[in-house]
Amino acid sequence: MDYSRKISERLWNMPDKGELESRREETFIDDIIQKSHIEKELLSHLDEIKTVFDGGAGCGRFSILLAKKGCAVTHFDISQPMIDKAKELAAKEGVLDKITFVNGALEDLKGFKDKSFDMVISFDAPVSYTYPNQKRVIGELVRICRKRIMLSVSSRLGYLPYLANPIQKNQFILDETCEDPFVKWCIGNKENAVEAFHFSKDAAMKLYKDGLMGGESEIAEYENGGTPWCITYTFMPDELEDILKYYGAKNIKLAGPGAYARTLPRELLVKIMNDSKQRSDFLDFCHYYDSNPFVCGMGKDNLFAQGEL
């Protein structure tokens, strides 16, 4: 089995993963913007959609939303802790019976027939964690889709700025006093990260050229019993578009949720996000601006694409 899949299986099956991931979306402004963008796209594209496959569905941010809108959803994920958390949240929302939960890997979708689902979605980078099978996996997602596909994957143009700014996530912390362990780590580690930082043109050029984050050191860590972050394949926008076209998707639209917000300093983002009227107007305008394909792919996991079959 490929290392990416083995590493993903170990990482995402850590017992607290479901609980931690389910809280992240309210803590970081870039995640809130990403979620808002995807929700707006989903809710405005539900014509003729009764059945949905959500690949790498996590704790159900989108599968539960679609079930609440009346869709029959297959919630597919490699991680049992994520599925368990999603079941708990679906039960709270009263939609447990609208969702079929399946534990499986995107690398193996043989069990699903061609055009099984009206819509196929996969958000926040699950496809990027299937390296070196990412192209074939997209082909399989298209194959099982009847009408509409929406994906968001790791973006190469969005990842590259992290190589010159490892503290970038700090800009998006909504509440610096919150108890979230990742927020605490970002704040506590900020000075160290700056001190230890050294810009490497070689690392940036390598990522620009081969698109790969992680590799041999992650494999070695895995073999030593550790839990490294997934080996991640980052896409260029035109590459993602070409793959979707190659498998037969048409009318492809690309977007970059978070691009507009990245132009603003944290003080102003926090001010906007803490005022409900400004927040709602801002999220509307972000969606509009970030849907312009000329800004697509800014933000690490924010290369968004949709197409029709």
Ligand X SMILES: C[S@@+](CC[C@H](N)C(=O)[O-])C[C@H]1O[C@@H](n2cnc3c(N)ncnc32)[C@H](O)[C@@H]1O
Residue range at the interface with ligand X (CB under 6 A); choices 126-134, 187-195, 221-229, 264-272: 126-134
By CB under 6 A, the count of residues binding ligand X is: 20
Touching ligand X, residues 65-104 (CB under 6 A): 77-79, 82
Q: Which is nearer to ligand X, 33 or 125 (CB)?
A: 125
Q: Which residue has the tokens 């079929």?
A: 100
φ, ψ for residue 52 (rounded to 5)?
Answer: -135, 140
Chain centroid offset of residue 24 CA: 12
Residue range at the interface with ligand X (CB under 6 A); choices 4-12, 161-169, 196-204, 207-215: 4-12
Touching ligand X, residues 183-242 (CB under 6 A): none
Q: Look up residue 94 and give its two tokens.
A: 């009263």
Q: One symbol per residue from 10 to 29: x for binding ligand X (CB under 6 A), - otherwise; what is it?
A: --x-----------------
Q: Which is nearer to ligand X, 23 or 206 (CB)?
A: 23
**Which one of residues 124, 218, 241, 290 is an interface residue with ligand X (CB under 6 A)?**
124
| Residue 83: CB minimum distance to ligand X, A | 8
Residue range at the interface with ligand X (CB under 6 A); choices 119-127, 178-186, 206-214, 267-275: 119-127
109 binds ligand X (CB under 6 A): no
What type of residue sits at position 278?
Answer: Q
Cβ–Cβ < 8 Å for 52, 72: yes
Q: Which is nearer to ligand X, 91 or 164 (CB)?
A: 91
CA 209, 212, 218 angle in degrees (round to 5)? 145
Touching ligand X, residues 28-57 (CB under 6 A): 56-57
Q: Look up residue 172 and give its two tokens.
A: 């998006």
| Residue 271: CB minimum distance to ligand X, A | 27
Measured CA to CA, the distance from residue 286 to residue 13 in angstroms comes to 34
Touching ligand X, residues 132-161 (CB under 6 A): none
Helix residue ranges per DSSP H, 128-248: 134-143, 156-159, 181-188, 190-196, 201-210, 216-223, 237-246
Burial of 94 (0-12, 13-18, 19+ CB in 10 A): exposed
3-state DSSP assignment of residue 230: coil
223-228 contact pairs (CB < 8 A, 24+): 227/10, 227/11, 227/14, 228/7, 228/11
| Residue 229: CB minimum distance to ligand X, A | 11
Residues that bind ligand X (CB under 6 A): 5, 8, 12, 56-58, 61, 77-79, 82, 105-107, 123-126, 129-130
